[in-house]
Amino acid sequence: MIAGATNAEVPVGTPFEYRVGMGEKVSEIDVRSALESGDWGFMHSFTTGSAVDGPGVRVVGWLTGCQFRCVFCHNPDTWKLSNGMPVTVERAVEQVKRYRHSLKTMRGGLTISGGEPLMQHRFVLKLFDGVRAAGIHTTLETNGYLGARLTDDDLQRIDLVMLGLKAFDPALHRELTGVENAPVHEFARRLAAKKRPAWVRFVVVPGWTDNIDEAGRMADFVAGLGNVERVDVLPFHQMGRFKWERLGMEYRMRDAVAPSAEIVQKIAGRFREAGLKTI
């Protein structure tokens, strides 16, 4: 057993629960060995019965660690790896397999999200291998920035990729997330070239991505890929505000109002005009 880890189960709840410090007793050496081997990882929680995180009804595993700093992030407590609970891959697989019959009946599966799951890509791949062996469908929700960590063979071990595209304009993306979007686009193109099934998620962020020009450029890019089966156009919401406050971080979206249904529909309509299916 790793020092600082317990044999407890990963908490079951929602990503909107505030969790910090669950893995802070783990030494740096053990963190490094976890990232290298994938034998164990850091998790915020599991959510069961989600109908919005991939096909059918799903179990969602929320991992900690993210290299983006999105100004609108709903889960900033997942940024820090050590805020997650250290768990062995066997334990996590066991926890998901418990739901395999209902997941099958409801045509769902396991979605791994975060945070950014590819910060812990080896753990994700081992977790997916474990549940796929039990016939469970796997979906990776990612911002795509670390997509180069996945080999072509790894891509075959993931049934569906849900790619969160934050902004198309490079300068806007940098300001919105703190990082470049070129590696994200490269990963999107690679998924397309390998004909891997993908869904796209686009959050309408007031004052940032709620304009039709930006959405239009994104829609044309996504439509040109040819492998995107569906686009989820999602309105920004304020459910994560309390986390920013509790973490004592400056929240630039503190006074932002969620975009109207009309704006969200207009942007979704632009994706449809480009030939894409939206919800």
Per-residue interface string for the shown chain with ligand SF4, residues 73-92, x marking contact by CB under 6 A: x-x--x--------------
> At 233, is the secondary structure helix, strand, or coil?
strand
Q: How far is the CB of 276 from ligand SF4 (least distance, A)?
A: 22
Please choose, out of 26-34, 35-43, 64-72, 219-227, the segment that lies near ligand SF4 by the rule CB under 6 A.
64-72
Which 3 state secondary structure label does DSSP give 70? coil
Q: Is 55 in the site for ligand SF4 (CB under 6 A)?
A: no
Closer to ligand SF4 at the Cβ: 74 or 126?
A: 74
Tell which positions 231-250 bind ligand SF4, by CB under 6 A: none
Residue list 126-145, contact with ligand SF4 (CB under 6 A): 143
CB 62 within 8 A of CB 114: yes
- Distances in Å between the Cα of 82 and the Cα atoms of 20, 66, 74, 77, 144 are 8, 11, 18, 10, 22
Footprint on residues 142-161 left by ligand SF4 (CB under 6 A): 143
Q: Which of 116, 159, 210, 214 touches ligand SF4 by CB under 6 A?
A: 116
How far apart CA 32 and CA 13 sit, in angstroms, is: 28
Q: Spell out the residues 6+ positions from residue 275 whose beta carbon is closer than 8 angstroms to its own.
A: 223
For ligand SF4, which residue of 70, 93, 136, 268 counts as binding (CB under 6 A)?
70
Cα gap 101→117, rounded to integer Å: 25
Smallest distance, ligand SF4 to C-beta of residue 68, A: 4
* 53 binds ligand SF4, rule: CB under 6 A: no
**Residue 192 to residue 249: CA distance in whole angstroms:** 37
Which residue stretch of 28-36, 72-80, 189-197, 224-232 sits at the interface with ligand SF4 (rule: CB under 6 A)?
72-80
192 contacts: CB under 8 Å, gap ≥ 6: 198, 225, 226, 227, 228
| Residue 111 touching ligand SF4 (CB under 6 A) | no
Euclidean distance between CA atoms 6 and 267, whole angstroms: 46
Give whole-number Cα distances, 63 to 76, 169, 237, in Å: 12, 28, 21
Number of residues this chain uses to bind ligand SF4 (CB under 6 A): 11
Contact window for ligand SF4 (CB under 6 A) among 30-38, 43-51, 114-122, 242-250: 114-122
- Residue nearer to ligand SF4 on the CB measure, 101 or 174: 174
Tell me which residue has tokens 């300068």.
171
Q: Is residue 115 near ligand SF4 by the rule CB under 6 A?
A: yes
Which residue ranges make up the site for ligand SF4 (CB under 6 A)? 66, 68-70, 73, 75, 78, 114-116, 143
